[in-house]
Amino acid sequence: MEERQAWASQMREKFSPKGMVNMDGTINQEFFRPKHVLLVKEKRWGIDETDLLYKGIERFGVGKCQEISMHLLPEWSDQQIRARTSKLMGSQSLARYSNWIGDKQAVQQEHERNKRLAEKLGCWKNGMLVENSEGSVKEYFKQLVNNTIMSSDTI
């Protein structure tokens, strides 16, 4: 066993970066600790920012996150705007809303419609309509497009 440990220590010394191995061949755990800690202040969406996003959706449309960021919310990235838009619309996927334009009231109506559908299908997670493994949401919208859902079946 000692022979094996001696061999491991030699290999560590030979192939490890400087400072990773102690003089006795054991691993220096301090080597793996972060040298600098960067604290990131999390931004939160306030009422003013959310209202500007509603205005951006009304002016540019869903999916136009870069334009909304550039003209109305420069401190927010495209990805952050897209994520917040998903929450406001109540839909994880924004694909079916490509270039959809609506005011605050229309966005809130879409959110409620998506919530009713999601609750009916059991696909409401974290405040959004999400696809399930059975493909229920996709199938619902496919039938809706093909007009095979009766008006009494719509949500």
Residues 27 and 86 in one domain: no
Residues 17 and 77 in one domain: no
In a domain, 42, yes or no: no
Residues 25 and 88 in one domain: no
* Domain total in the chain: 2
Residues 120 and 146 in one domain: yes
Share of the chain above pLDDT 70, in %: 92
Residues 136 and 62 in one domain: yes
User: Confidence class of residue 154 from pLDDT cuts 50, 70 and 90?
Assistant: low
Whether the per-residue pLDDT at 149 is higher than 60: the answer is no
| 53 vs 111: CA distance, rounded Å | 15
Residues 79 and 143 in one domain: yes
144-148 average pLDDT score:
71
In order, the DSSP letters of 5-68 are HHHHHHHHHHHSPTTSB-TTS-B-GGGGS-SS----PPP---HHHHHHHHHHHHHT-TT-HHHH
Whether the per-residue pLDDT at 80 is higher than 90: the answer is yes
Residues 54 and 26 in one domain: no
In a domain, 59, yes or no: yes
Residues 60 and 86 in one domain: yes
Residues 65 and 109 in one domain: yes
Full-prediction pTM beyond 0.75? Answer: no
95-121 average pLDDT score:
93
Model pLDDT for residues 6-54, shown as the tens digit of each residue: 888 888 888 989 888 888 888 888 888 887 776 666 789 999 999 999 9
In a domain, 17, yes or no: yes
In a domain, 41, yes or no: no
More confident residue, 55 or 33: 55
Structural domain harbouring 124: 47-153
Which residues touch 80 (CB under 8 Å, ≥6 apart)? 43
pLDDT value for 99: 86
| 112 vs 133: CA distance, rounded Å | 23
